[in-house]
A and B are shown apart, each in its own frame.
Chain A
Amino acid sequence: MPILTHLWILPLLPLLGAAANGIFGGRWPKSAVTAVALSSTTLLFLATLEAVREFFTLPAEQIPWIKSYFTWIAAAGFRADFAVQVDQLTVIMLLVVTGVGWLIHIYSSGYMHDDPGYRRFFSYLNLFMFFMLLLVLAANYLVMFVGWEGVGLCSYLLIGFFFLKKSATNAGNKAFWVNRIGDFGFILGVLLILRTFGSLDFATVLPRAAAMAADPAGQIGTLTAIALLLFVGAAGKSAQLPLYVWLPDAMEGPTPVSALIHAATMVTAGVYMVARSHAIFLNAPVAMQVVAVIGCVTALFAATIGLVQTDIKKVLAYSTVSQLGYMFLACGVGAFTSGVFHLMTHAFFKGLLFLAAGSVIHAMGGEQDMRKMGGLRKKIPWTFWTMFMGTLAIAGTPGFSGFFSKDEILEATQRVSTPLWALGLLTAGFTSFYMFRLLFLTFFGEQRFDEHHVHVHESPKNMLAPLVVLAILAVGGGWMAAPHLWGGVNYFEHFLAPVFSTASEATTAVAESSGGAAEIVQGLFGAPVIVGLLGFLLAWWLYIRSPQTPKKIAQSLSTPYKLLSGKYFVDELYAAVIVRPLVWISDKVLWHVVDEGVIDGAVNGVADVSRETGDRLRYASTGNIRTYAAWILMGAVVFTSLLLWMKG
């Protein structure tokens, strides 16, 4: 088993790519940069496939497959190894990260082709792959934290990629700061784990957490505290309320970055971390409730903002926040498998949607405002059809991947809480509406741009090929979980069962009891599908049938409309409550009083006193040797008499 034995190869490949392009790429022609970046990710994907093949030959007792390379930290009673592990959950994440990452690298070679920062872009992107692999391969919380921070760094670098644009650097800073809050929670959670369990290894911590008595409902014990702190980290990384504000702004980065980091992989790291720590969360009922409610409210909240956005990427950004909310909802109701399943299908269809949006932006020569698009269907058919597939998938059309994953989440939610289920259902309707609105505004209706200025053209093949592959995955990716509709095995759940063994008892029992024709009918024409259909019809009515209506609605309902288009003014609220007071304190107190007064005052004070003293004392240095001699004599006399006086 060459790859599993040498697991370090996986993260090393993209790291080499990043280093080679970052250090030497400046002297290389563009084709060499492309070759290095693409070959590292292609090799990585192939190596991952081989690793997965080897993984399937492993006997069950060797899973999780843990490789420890060296002792990283050894201190009194505490030991952390630099260790990586592969289990079923890792396999899913590995395939998603390397597969989608590979496709997006190919896409980027077309999308970024004329950008002066081409080499820098690929260096960062490869570096991101390295840290993301570290994150998902980690066998303890410490290595995971390194990957966690690393992807945050790459996210920051790539959001601010167009660093000459003030808005881009601001967005990068915002992402970094907001994530600091989340990461602070995460590291506190990790420290609490260390204190409670004396170890950070998943293989030690999780079984012990599972064996511990659950915190009583409604009370906050140690496990609940750990879970809540970890969730603060997850909420920062995965853009949940109240820390979601950075993700919409992150759209300042190049579109492939939005697709890879801010839709498919990095932002789902929070979900992965929660799913990985499921043993802790399951014994913390309060934390589970918090996760479910935050996830559900975020899903609805972001979806409503997405209804009125006009920037094509902003719609997708809020959609991502909303879909991540679904994943947390799934985790919060104990359906970790469904959450991870939605993570995977979301990586496919949202990656696809972002890449297709990038293709539209490319075709429109950089225009992102949907009000200035329209009627593009015939001009860029490949982009249209792939994006159409992605839209059908996210809207939950029966048979498409999003249908299966979203259905599973709603089904699991229904068993736990009816209000959350209702909110989730409403979100599904909104999702369908805003996605079809996006599709109709972009590709249907009349052209709202001047064709003399905008030369609409289909994207090159290296951009279309990833679109097609992702479209196929977005359409078919859900069938792994499909057969349970007609009473068969949910392969995905079956595969992940060993990881979530403690969690899956409840869910599998229900899933296996279902089946039969009535179930199929219910599944195909259940509430989520009907709501999705309503969303589609409403979008069709408003944007195809009578395109004048939306404006009238916006006028007659001006207050709610302003609230939505202003994104609930959360940014303004944060600015007023947190940012401006902080700036004021920093400016008036920390700068002018503490820094200028105390610190500068101390330094300048010492200098002033020294200079003043020197000024007075310099008159003693006359330069006259006889005066000096007299001083010496006087000194000698004084000291001698002092000595004599002390003795006597």
Chain B
Amino acid sequence: MVPTSYYLVLSAILFGLGVIAFIYKRNIISIFMSIELMLNAVNLAFVAFSRALGQLQGQVFVFFVIVVAAAEAAVGLAIIILITRNRGTLDVERVDLLKH
């Protein structure tokens, strides 16, 4: 049986990749996908704990996170489409109207 720590290390790596991608990527869709990556890293940790502790709460949380991620995907993609239509770019560096 694979020890729980393996899952947690994998989860931490995935989460770290998500964070790094979130900060360094300029393409808004990449940023969006890195958020999804972080959410799934957390899901993995939840499930790992759920199994290690023999409790169901962790899995219930995962369902919540999936629902939130689905909603986020709907709203987020809509926002991305609007930004692209209005500004003609996917580069977040150039979405800086508030600054001026």
Contacts and interface: CB of A to CB of B under 8 A. Distances in A.
Interface in B17-41: 19, 22-24, 26, 31
Contacts of A621: 98-99
A344 B19 CA distance: 98
Contact of A629 (B22, B95, B96, B98): B22
B99 A623 contact: yes
A520 B94 CA distance: 116
A626 B99 CA distance: 14
A624 B95 CA distance: 8
Nearest to B20: A633
A623 B98 contact: yes
Given A629-B22, A629-B23, A633-B23, A622 B99 contact: yes
Interface in B46-100: 92-93, 95-100
Contacts of B26: 626
Contacts of A630: 23
* Size bracket, chain A contacts: under 10
B25 to A, nearest CB: 8
A621 B96 CA distance: 11
Contacts of B100: 623
A625 B19 contact: no
A630 B24 CA distance: 10
A626 B97 CA distance: 15
Contacts of A629: 22-23
A624 B23 contact: no
Nearest to B95: A625
Contacts of B96: 623-624
Nearest to B22: A629
A94 B100 CA distance: 79
A629 to B, nearest CB: 5
Interface of B: 19, 22-24, 26, 31, 92-93, 95-100
Interface of A: 621-626, 629-630, 633
List of 6 A-B pairs having minimum Cβ-Cβ separation, nearest first = A623-B99, A623-B96, A625-B92, A623-B98, A629-B23, A629-B22
25 contacts: A621-B98, A621-B99, A622-B99, A623-B96, A623-B97, A623-B98, A623-B99, A623-B100, A624-B92, A624-B93, A624-B96, A624-B99, A625-B31, A625-B92, A625-B95, A626-B23, A626-B24, A626-B26, A626-B92, A626-B93, A629-B22, A629-B23, A630-B23, A633-B19, A633-B23
Given A624-B92, A624-B96, 12 more contacts: A621-B98, A623-B97, A623-B98, A623-B99, A624-B93, A625-B95, A626-B23, A626-B24, A629-B22, A629-B23, A633-B19, A633-B23
